[in-house]
Amino acid sequence: MRDRARDETGAVTLLVAGCAVVLLLVTGLVVDLGLARDVRAQSQSAADASALAAGNILYDGTSLPDVPGAVAAAQAYASANLDVSAADWASCTDTERLPHTTTAGPCISFDDATQPSVVRVRMPTRVVDTHFGGLAGVSTVSIATSAQVALLPGKVFECALCVLGDGPHDIGNGDVTVTGSGVHLNGSVSLNAQGKVVADHITVEGSASGHEFVPAAEMHAGRMDDPLASLAMPPAAMAGLSAKTDPCTGGPGVYGAYVFPKSTCTLAPGLYVLTGEWVLSNNSDLRGAGVTLYATCGTAAAPRVCAAQEAGGELDAKNGDLQLSGGAVPGFTVLYDRNNTSDLSLQGNGLTTSVEGSVYAASAKFYANGNTVRAFRNGSIVVDSIDFNGNIRLDIADGFGRTWQRPPGGLHLER
């Protein structure tokens, strides 16, 4: 009996020793896996931040994607958060990459080359050495993480008449005819019994009500941003212009308020800067070829760009005739500083209003009242709001011939 007790004591010793080794291995694996988990968490955070940074800068308020900028942003965040080098990107592979990649390699990829709305970032693999895992045959742990962000698709608008303000807009009994392009209005719009809007297509942010939209307006189409937000203010042609008083004889320059005579005034080609109100009275006839009228703030002696919601120079052609073609600022005949809230009036019962070139007054109300035709050619009209009264007809043909792309938005982590 005493011999058997001694034998059992030896077995317990061996069992305790074996358990100690197992416990040591388990403890070591817990430490190693904990370290690997921490590295994985850092890598995943870096992947999330890099993908979000890329998606955030991909459009940056414009309609054209900046893919190189997005790649650079992703790499910068990866470097800052996980110390990822250029060599790491060069050797990185991703079997789940999206269809479009760049010279940066497959680990930063996009769903499309021209209008991407999904970005995937895979972090270069990190190898974590184990301190105790080698005892169990595991000497390293490879960490690979990825993140994918998506933006809601952008909206394409095409308009020769683009109304940017919140409205509501009332075309009344007026007619709008657009040939070869469309009409878009932010806010909502209504027509009276005699009103009519005809275009290739009509889109409205809110609702459209009233008599006749041809074709039927697409309602709740989304909001359109300023399609000319990148247009430089003031225009380069303003440099070197001096203050003058009579545009009919003085030629291009900077002008304050002016009332045109009841006769024909022909402007010489060039840029005319309006810091005051230009008024056409009854029987005034304003003509000019190669002319751009730029309405801004300040004085004739010191013109300047307008502050937000500031009233500046103004064109009031309620009663006279207007026949102008643009050229001093390529593509534009009437150009308001984008913050200028003064009205733009091409109304009344003048015999003819003919404008060749675009009209841009992004913060202004556009008055087009009376009973005659206002003809616009080779350009678009971009204004904040419109005010039609009477049986005015707005006839727009041969606009810019291009679409306005609202960039994708609603950035979010997809996976």
pLDDT in tens, 332-362: 999 999 999 999 988 655 555 789 999 999 9
Would you state the pLDDT for residue 29?
Answer: 59
Separation CA 220–CA 186 (nearest Å): 9
Residues 6+ apart with CB under 8 A from 336: 294, 295, 296, 312, 313, 342, 344, 360, 361, 362, 363, 364
The closest of 220, 225, 226, 198 to 208, measured between CA atoms, is 220
The closest of 412, 405, 410 to 115, measured between CA atoms, is 405
φ, ψ of residue 7 to 5 degrees: the values are -60, -45
244 vs 321 pLDDT, higher one: 244
Residue 146: pLDDT over 90: yes
Residue 131: pLDDT over 70: no
pLDDT in tens, 358-375: 999 999 999 877 666 678
- Looking at 62-182, which runs of residues are DSSP E strands? 100-102, 105-110, 118-122, 126-129, 140-143, 146-152, 155-157, 161-163, 169-172, 175-179
- Helix (H) or strand (E) segment spanning residue 3: helix 2-57
Residues 6+ apart with CB under 8 A from 277: 257, 258, 313, 314, 316, 342
pTM beyond 0.85, yes or no = no
Confidence of residue 47 (pLDDT cuts 50, 70, 90): very high
Do the bridges between strand 314-316 and strand 373-377 make them parallel or antiparallel, or are there none, so unpaired? unpaired
Residue 11: pLDDT over 80: no
- Looking at 229-380, which runs of residues are DSSP E strands? 253-255, 258-260, 264-267, 270-274, 277-280, 285-288, 291-295, 297-298, 303-304, 314-316, 321-325, 332-336, 344-345, 353-356, 358-367, 373-377
- Looking at 299-357, which runs of residues are DSSP E strands? 303-304, 314-316, 321-325, 332-336, 344-345, 353-356
Residue 55: pLDDT over 70: yes
pLDDT in tens, 74-91: 999 999 999 999 999 999
